[in-house]
Structure 1
Amino acid sequence: MNLPLRRRGIDIFFAIVFAAFTITSLISDLLPTVGVDFSRPSDNFFVNSNYWYAHDADILFMHPPDWMRIVTGLSAFVYMPFYVVLVVCLLAGKNWIQLFAVIYATMIVTLTGVVVFGVEFFGDPAMRTGNPVKFLAFNLWYVLVPLLLLIRMRKPMPFTRRF
């Protein structure tokens, strides 16, 4: 028997954060994937939001190489639908999401945590932002939250006990 949602506060937290990730995947990751140019300010709110972020924190995102467009494409077309399912499962206490949550979290930690952060901090100096503090402020939670989800989903039947 699963614990009621009111006794699983961590799942409410995850549901809120992953609902926000759904929106950021739609706004931030879809645009570079489909090739929208946001290398200069625009009247379009979504384009301008991406310009503001990329200009201030992530030059690599502003001029994404093909591999980066694959990473953003995964977020826009694979992770975003998963976030919707994950939020529903977290709120409803559906234990079958556990394996998929572990797979997702492992992918995020690997792709974002290792590849994107690796390029940002150790890659081509021309692609670095020059401001690693801003980059971390914007992006660290995209790795830490999935890592916390991985910890949350480590035991069988995760919704039957408290975190």
Structure 2
Amino acid sequence: MTDPSPANLALRDRRVDIFFAVVFAAFTVTSVISDLLPTVGVNFSHPSSNFFVNSNYWYAHDADPLFMHPPTWMRIVTGLSAFGYMPFYVVLVFSLLTGKNWIQLPSVIYATMIVSLTGIVVFGVEFFGEPAWRTHNPAKFLAFNLAYVLVPLLLLIRMRRPAPFARRF
């Protein structure tokens, strides 16, 4: 019996997947740099000689005061990113580059979680939460964080059809 699903396109014919692979590879790095530190309780409320701590201080000081002194629920969100999303990003990049159609459902689940947690909860608290947690520079906060919601939404659109790697986007 033959497989009824169409053959996947070569990676060179799926340029959008190269774009997603590059972006999610970058998300892997940012999950390690920015989400792991608050999850494990590293203090970055002041400048440091450590590059990773100083990167988080610079971001939190300039764009996201909630991130500088994260409440427990925020540490859960960053922990989910550091220990859940980050390994998923590695698998996703591999799947995008090799055209593994089984990544479709996990991608939909991931995108839904990102939109729910980051898009609704974190953005909601940043813009409508307690005044001490609100950013003083909403444009800078959006510049740093909007891609973390928009790219997963684009991935959701990319993965909407069966055998997503068999068709051009």
**TM-score, length basis structure 2:** 0.96
Runs of 4+ in 1 over 4 A off after TM superposition: none
Task: Name 1:104's counterpart in structure 2.
Answer: 110
Larger radius of gyration: 2
Q: Which residue of structure 1 aligns with residue 4 of structure 2?
A: none
2:82 to 63, 76, 85: 76
Question: CA offsets per residue over residues 83-135 of structure 1, 9 Å max, x none?
Answer: 00000000000000000000000000110000000001111111111110000
The aligned amino acid for 1:123 is: G
RMSD: 0.4
1:133-152 aligned at under 5 Å gives the runs: 133-152=139-158
Give how far 1:138 is off. 0.3
The one of 2, 18, 25 aligned to 1:19: 25
C-alpha contact (below 8 Å) 2:127/2:135 kept by paired residues? no
The superposition leaves residues 37-65 of structure 1 with CA deviations (integer Å, 9 ceiling, x where unpaired) of: 00000010000000000000000000000
The residue type equivalent to 1:16 in the other structure is V
What secondary structure, in the 3-state scheme, does the structure 1 residue paired with 2:152 have? helix
The answer to whether the aligner puts 1:130 opposite 2:136 as a matched pair is yes
Q: What is the TM-score normalised by the length of structure 1?
A: 0.99
Query: What SS class does the counterpart of residue 83 from structure 1 fall into?
Result: helix
Letter in 2 for 1:118: G
Which segments of 5 or more consecutive residues in structure 2 lack a partner in the other structure?
Answer: 1-6
**1:61 aligned to 2:101?**
no
Identity, in percent, stands at: 82
| Structure 1 unaligned residues grouped into runs of 5+ | none
